[in-house]
Amino acid sequence: MTKAKTVSLTILAVGLTALIAFAAAQALRSVQVKEGHVRSGPSFLSAIIAKLPYGDQVQLLYEQDGWAKVSVAGKVPEGWMHCSALSEKQIVLKSGVRDVTQSASGDEVALAGKGFNADVEKEFKAKRKDVNYAYIDQMEKVIVPQPWIQEFVKLGALVPEGGAK
């Protein structure tokens, strides 16, 4: 092999390695809600197979209709999370001097618990000025246990969107 071909192949290999590393980094997402539910299928009616706390990172495998197929190495099996529960921004809960520019503010943490970020909430309120947000805050406190939801689905013979169980 000539020296020119060797140099060309080396440059190509380095470029591909950098591209793969960049793509892998782009596929990381942070859980931006208080408790992210990993489900067995791309539906809110699918069984919850794991719960991830705010700030945990997941590997995005692919997206489909507002749902993300995710993997969390060593923690949980592959599953589905709604895209609204994930953020491209890395969330740092304990910030040191070098991480302070990436850390989440108190307002971001509070909004994340509601499934919002500042931009989403601002846009939502601008479009819906007639909504009484006190009622929304009350509704967010209602917790329906997962077994009740599964029983409701079973008794109603409901099939989650996409046929996922």
Instruction: Specify the 3-state DSSP secondary structure of 73.
Output: coil
Residue type, 57: Q
CA 48 to chain centre: 14
Mind listing the pLDDT tens digit for each residue in 16-32?
Answer: 554 444 444 458 888 88
Mind listing the pLDDT tens digit for each residue in 75-120?
Answer: 777 899 999 899 888 776 665 545 455 555 555 655 555 556 667 7
pTM of the model: 0.51
Mind listing the pLDDT tens digit for each residue in 33-75?
Answer: 888 999 999 988 888 898 988 888 899 998 988 899 998 876 7
Instruction: Name all domains of the chain by residue range, CATH numbers in brackets.
Output: 27-163 (2.30.30.40)
- Distance, CA of 125 to CA of 47 (rounded, Å): 32
